[in-house]
Structure 1
Amino acid sequence: MFAVYSYITPTLTEVSGFRIDQVPMVLALWGLGMIAGNLIGGRLADRALVPAIFYIMAWNVVFLAFFSLFSASSIATLATLFMVGCGFALVPALQVRLMNVAGNAQTLAASLNHSAFNISNAIGASLGGWAIATGWGWASTGWVASILAVLGIVLMSISVGVERIQRRKSA
């Protein structure tokens, strides 16, 4: 998400055709998606935590790619950015997962979670900037973000696999 967000203003003005004075309203729409996502993510986490995380990550893969595909259309960009914002449903679900696996180190884990978000911000912005600098264009940041989301699914799969192995060993 940070690969897209870091370069959202030039993408909106250079690719999607928005005027600079319209950008705050577009970002507000994205923010409404984030609010909806946070509310939904908490509920999904309560129902089925690990499946919810995988479904939300898949959601992010799709809608971040859609950003690249549809950013030339202002209407499609608005719908896509709202849906990208909804992908923030991942945040409460990941926080619950982290608390569940942290054991007695929940305070430390919570602080490291915020550090991880800052690291992901730096990685996403750097790789998005690299894609733009190599000539792939402003909208390429959606592809970068989508690939990073796939990487997140891989890492989550490894995490779940390690947890299952540990459970079998302790049983």
Structure 2
Amino acid sequence: MRDVDPARRSLLAIARGVFRRATQGKMQRVQADLLARETRDMEYAEPYGLTSVPHDGAEVIAVAPGGNRSHLVAICVSDRRYRVQGLESGDVALYNDKGMVVTLGRETLTIEAPAGMEIVQRVGGVSATLSESGFAIQGGTVTHDGVNIGATHVHGGVQPGDANTDVPVG
């Protein structure tokens, strides 16, 4: 690109386009339609610790270092079709197209999932699942104030008949 006028090179340094597809790898690659009849494959420089695979039709912002369009890099992919609305100043949200939202509010952390979805936490061999039907824990031990209240807990003062037992033994 040595012969390209510097003014033209600066105009070509930033492009806006339409996302078409992604290829997984150490560095995700995306394909986007940029200028008229210009479909380009490029690296997608995602922020550390955050990754996503956008839907066809999302919006791409790409940069061409030094105006060299032979090495475009996508620096942002967004999709206004699914963006969360109604956040307060300072709020942060992580969301997807299915309506699942994690919101870091000013004083609350909110995890939302629409009907039919589940919220699952996994640590080692233990998982806790919250769904429309309730809360389920698989593996591990369930305790309250240091007392086992899970499937293996025992009670003192067990009497035959319909009498009540003592609280769980801890």
Q: Which has the larger radius of gyration?
A: 2
More helix by share: 1
Scaled by the length of structure 1, the TM-score of the pair is 0.23
Scaled by the length of structure 2, the TM-score of the pair is 0.23
More strand by share: 2
